Structure 1
Amino acid sequence: MLTDSHCHLDFPDFEGRLDETIARASAAGVTRMVSICTKRAALPAVQAIAEAHPQVWFAYGIHPMRVAEEPMIEVDELVAAAAHPRMVGIGETGLDYHYTADSAEAQQQSLRLHIEACRRTGLPLIIHSRDADEDMARILSEEHTAGAYDCVMHCFSSGAELAQTALDLGFYLSMSGIATFPKSGSLRDIFAAAPLDRILVETDSPYLAPVPHRGKRNEPAYTAHTAATGAEIFGLTLDEFAAATEANFARLFPKAA
């Protein structure tokens, strides 16, 4: 059994093929999925998917690359959404300076508001971080000092220093298909140095399909390929690695356990 801890089942890539996508996931041993809502307008659709499919849970937040396009999120708005019985996380939120560095200040404000919502709800934070390691480490640390919260670094592909900061704060690192790419040796080394009880797996589908499907549309079933790489990294059987990541998911996302 595996959990795809981060996917986007409401995206157009899955329109009209959701039932077959979930069926393939189940056949591959992926029995649970968290579909991530990244904008206000998509929330009803994401909720409906989770309500219609017992294998699917959801999280809600404003993606950092969308912060400049929408009114600033309010903590009360996130707290109200979290009352839904199938909402299990806050996010994805974070910092992305690769394409949207011009909105860095607004992204930082949004991130801090999402963190406050995590404190109020007890739900874990789901972080997106790209080309922003220094600011991300600083904000996560400052906010944790101000009041503890749980967190996963989704699709972790940043540097070793940010990984260590996250682990020192008690956070989790999520392994995506990037870890299977031939040139991702340094990233595999970061995961290998992390405690096994802080690792999750995900697809971020429809993006970042793992080897052997790289370049194609990703889907939750492919979590199994990333998990196979994770097992190799930690010197475990696939069943042992899957059991460990399932326990980790249940600890971080108890609402979905």
Structure 2
Amino acid sequence: MSWFKFSALAIAASLSACSSSPTGRNQLLLFSDSDMSSLGAQSFEQMKQKQKVSTDTKLNNYVQCVAMAVTRQVPRQPSFQDWEVVVFDSDQVNAFALPGGKIGVYTGLLKVAENEDQLATVIGHEIAHVLADHSNERLSQSQLANTGLQITSVALGASEYAQYREATMAALGLGVQVGVLLPYGRTQESEADIVGLDLMAKAGFDPRESVTLWHNMAKASQGQQPPELLSTHPSHNTRIRDLTQTMQQLPNYATVKPNCG
């Protein structure tokens, strides 16, 4: 890396040092909301082209209902207007959300998230990754470390996006095979748990079901490779303990529970 480029990144890093996450953690954010939304939208279009989208009307209505109930609790974002929700027909036990308001849910998740409260737990968690700028944080770390992403701006045109797609999608949490890698650190995962639980509770869903969900996840991973959703997450016991503590601190939201079932 040239001295000039390193200096530019160092200056950008110092200017971004004052950024903080929803839980007050300092973050390195080198890219704008509009840049991240553009990357999220491009990556999402790639996924819709490469993966089978579910055409099950009842299933889609159910997932859309839960997701929209949660997103209604999110303040309007400066870089996009609406959230887009797509159900992918796949056995993966997974879901994700991308900058730009893009949400994907795999049908395999619905075998483990057994009711709308548990599904809302996962969706709230994934939306929290977006609200906490975790993709921006990871992409910024990759840029600063010079780990193959040789760009100084992520406002890419089509040709540039194609050139850097692998590195970009990995930083967003998406693999080129377009399975979700979720390479967030445990601190980010725990932060998304806290923020996501508050979102789903505000929407009227039962936060106690979050603990049941992760018990289900633990059962699903016994004797086999863990579900993709657990790839870099805290241990089941740690997550359940932290969720229980967070539940005790939640306000008593007087929100009517959605009827999505």
TM-score, length of structure 1 as denominator length: 0.24
Give the structure with the higher percent strand: 1
Larger Rg: 2
